[in-house]
Amino acid sequence: MTKNLEDTQIQLNTIYRRNGKGQKANVKSRFSVVFKGMLFSSILIVSVFTSEIYAFANTNQEVIKQTSAATSEKVTSTDIKTVIEGKTKSFKQSSIYRNGKVLVSMSDVFKEFGAKIKTDKKAKTMTATKGKTVIKVTIGSNIAKVNGKNYKMAVKATSIHGTTMVPTSLVAKLAPVKSSYNKTKKTVTIAKQVSEVKVGGISVKHGNHTYASKNQQEYDKVMAKVKSALAKDFDKQYLGMSKESAQNYKDYINGERWDGNTANRNQKNKDLKYAHDEIGNLVQNKVGVKEIEKAYKTSLVATYLIVDKIDPNTGAPRSAYDALFNGVTDCDSSAQVIIAVFDQMGYDTAIIAGRNHADPFVKIGGDWYEVTSSSFTKTTNFNLGKGDLYVLASPTSGKF
């Protein structure tokens, strides 16, 4: 009774994986009992490891974690692409697909939909606030507080590299959004749900805004043009309209100011002055950096759509279609283009007009701002009913 020299490994609570080549992964288990068998002799080696199992399958490097001897949980995470309102986003921590659920960076994604974020590292909580909606999550808990009421999430909020991750379903508690995951493309898409309504026989997507289109064909062409411009040009824009000025604008947001001397033509001083004029109201009202950047870049896309159009000084141009396809514009048609672009980016917009002028307004962080090129001026009173002022385009949401 002889047998060849061999190592026979018997492992308790062992998980085997195979890599792409069909080879067994090396596994360290909580208890590993190894019997080395030789003719009539054996050596018993008992090794006690940590409470976690890590199995690395050469090429796959997949982690399998066991938290106790009795129960085990397979945790597989895959980084995925995030698309919000048609734009691919790059966040410090990518969205992940874990055990059948998509988790996203709460701070980054909620800010995309206008929320302000507050973090309490000691309590391990993060709070998002948008208007009257307040959402609070705690790391390690699947119960979120939405306006003080419990909301059970499909998975627990977790922290990855210091980033609070939550399931996409929670985003819908902040804004009327719909999310979907394409497993083949490894992409999560989040966008506001759009309910089409008929206005004057035209099916519209944002409030009751037709952008003064005469028919469905004009409306559809306007929206196609706007979507194309945003897809093509939005990511090319910078705060301050150049890469060099962008940092100076961010320095303004972080507290730096121009010296008050217009004779000082130093580039940074000029940029700080321009930033004060253009985004000063947003900074003063504590709008977040990402939201300021989003609004500013959106305004640039809108401006470039109308900047080269001719004003015939006849008052005839009325619609976004006139500006985008007939090549003529005035304040009415320019305002229609501007709100169309901001609408497409998910903002609440409106146009207030008088006898000889029309101004576009955008709601940012709960406040209304008049938009002039890339400048944002906070407005607290529209003075409607006074003089000749009236609402040319009511708010996308239906109310001021």
Domain boundaries, the chain: 1-75, 77-192, 197-236+285-393
Tallying the residues shown for the chain, one arrives at 400
Instruction: State the sign of the Cα–Cα–Cα–Cα dihedral 350, 354, 359, 361.
Output: negative
Instruction: Look at residues 121, 160, 114 and name the one whose alpha carbon lies nearest to residue 135.
Output: 114
Which pTM was predicted? 0.60
Burial pattern 2-20, b for ≥16 Cβ within 10 A else e, equals eeeeeeeeeeeebeebeee
Neighbours of 341 (CB within 10 A): 30
Instruction: Look at residues 355, 360, 354 and name the one whose alpha carbon lies nearest to residue 333.
Output: 360
The confidence score (pLDDT) of residue 36 equals 36
The confidence score (pLDDT) of residue 385 equals 62
What's the pLDDT tens digit per position in 86-108?
888 999 999 998 878 899 999 99
What's the pLDDT tens digit per position in 141-151?
999 999 999 99
Instruction: State the sign of the Cα–Cα–Cα–Cα dihedral 157, 163, 167, 169.
Output: positive
CATH of domain 197-236+285-393: 3.10.620
The confidence score (pLDDT) of residue 243 equals 87
The confidence score (pLDDT) of residue 40 equals 34
Torsion of Cα atoms, 181 then 182 then 186 then 190, to 10°: -40
Parts of the chain with a pLDDT under 50? 1-75
The confidence score (pLDDT) of residue 381 equals 79
Superfamily (CATH) of domain 77-192 = Copper amine oxidase-like, N-terminal domain (3.30.457.10)
The confidence score (pLDDT) of residue 56 equals 34
Neighbours of 150 (CB within 10 A): 8
The confidence score (pLDDT) of residue 47 equals 37
The confidence score (pLDDT) of residue 194 equals 66
